[in-house]
Amino acid sequence: MDKNNKILIVEDEAITAMMICENLKMSGFGVMKPVSTGEEAVNAAVSEKPDVIFMDIHLAGSMDGIEAAEKISESLVIPIIFMTGYTNQDFIERTKNLRPVYYLNKPIRIKDMEKIIESL
């Protein structure tokens, strides 16, 4: 993936979101303003059409990350990487139809994110 491409971070923990964004920017990647709810993720994806989305599964608001990914996938083809601190089999089952590119377990390592981005 070209470093000029847009990356969307969907994370409801503001400090975590800012840390991820700043580290990716320092590595030379184009990062959009992070969002914290599923609804904001859908709106940002539709309006900005990022090249890749890092999506937390647990989000603020009424829509979780899986639901947001489902809505986004209805109209756009964007690689989605799920980030989670939970290894619940239910989450994995719910995401199978979405064919996520990767699952990243928290705490997130920026080097892992960089490798995934570069592999796309």
Residue 23 lies in a domain: yes
Residue 1 lies in a domain: no
Domain count, the chain: 1
pLDDT for the residue 103: 85
Residue 88 lies in a domain: yes
Residue 120 lies in a domain: no
Q: Domain containing 13: what range?
A: 6-115
Alpha helix stretches (DSSP H) within the chain: 14-26, 38-48, 65-75, 89-95, 110-119
What is the domain-level CATH number for residue 30? 3.40.50.2300
Contact 98, 80 (CB under 8 A): yes
pLDDT for the residue 95: 76
Tell me: the pLDDT tens digits for 16-58?
Answer: 999 999 999 999 999 999 999 999 999 999 999 999 999 999 9
pLDDT for the residue 3: 60
Residue 81 lies in a domain: yes
Residue of 42, 75, 81 whose CA lies nearest to 61: 42
Tell me: the pLDDT tens digits for 47-101?
Answer: 999 999 999 999 988 999 999 999 999 999 999 999 988 767 777 777 777 776 7
Residue 99 lies in a domain: yes
